[in-house]
Structure 1
Amino acid sequence: MTTARYLVLLHGDEHVWAARDERLRERTDEDHRIFGARCAENGHKIVGGEELQHSSTSILVRRPADGPIQVTEGPFAETAEQLGGLYLVETDDLDDLVQLVGALQRESETAEIRPVVDHSEV
């Protein structure tokens, strides 16, 4: 099987996260440490990742077809779920990565796993 890169996008309700007590936040941090360790054990290589600040800190940049660039403050979507963090993972076993990401999710959280376009052959 060929190794590919996948972006794992972690979505959740920022209000739920803000309401978590310190014990649950520490447990979530531990879940991410375990995720990283299990990825390494199973041959997945995490090559990048970050927790993101609240969506209210985002800056949106748009270019309409017939006008100048528009810059506004975020978030992009009026929805409870926002992008909260990401991992960039190299793996040759997508099915196993899906299982590990699934184990990382809590109630009211969603993860999106998206392949990265490989431009190395260009």
Structure 2
Amino acid sequence: MARYMVLIYGDAQQWDTMTDEQWKAHNAAHAAFVAKAGAQVIDGQQLESVPTATSLRSDALGRINTTDGPFLETKEALGGYYLLEAADLDEVLSLATLLPEVHATHSGVEIRPVVDHG
């Protein structure tokens, strides 16, 4: 079985303005995804909002600089993830269609295989 990282991106302003009812529907969709994926879900978490991010980079002299926020300025931000174990990408794609971010116009999902160094 291979492992896949499902990265969930969206417009943080849209998430911040969701009503309680919208959050309930959103969370119910995630619960349906987790129920369908079952033991294939190795881990998954919602991330704190973009302003809480801290980035590290080195400069030309090798000094490490710490900055507030993500690496890139972008409208869409990483909002959460799932780490799945699946037979192949097709299986992950089938599950990922259950995520509410796939169906919203302000968000999306990226799926990447995890490198196995073993």
Kindly indicate whether the alpha-carbon contact (under 8 Å) linking 2:4 and 2:84 is maintained by their aligned counterparts in 1: yes
**Which residue among 103, 109, 112 is the counterpart of 1:111?**
109
Deviations 1:47-88 (A, max 9, x none): 111100001101110012324100010032211100000000
Count of aligned positions: 115
Query: 2:32 touches 2:98 (CA, 8 Å); kept in 1?
Result: no
Q: C-alpha root-mean-square deviation of aligned residues, in Å? A: 1.3
Instruction: Give matches, 1:31-110, under 5 Å.
Output: 31-40=29-38, 45-104=40-99, 105=102, 106-110=104-108
| Corresponding position: 1:26 with 2:21 | no
Which runs of 5 or more residues in structure 1 are unaligned?
A: none
TM-score (norm 1): 0.88
Distance in 1 of aligned mates of 2:71 and 2:17: 22
Question: Would you say the 8 A contact 2:11–2:75 is kept in 1?
Answer: yes
Q: Tell me, which stretches of 5 or more residues in structure 2 are unaligned?
A: none
Any idea what SS the aligned residue of 1:25 has?
helix
Percent sequence identity over aligned pairs: 38
Distance 1:16 1:55 in 2: 13
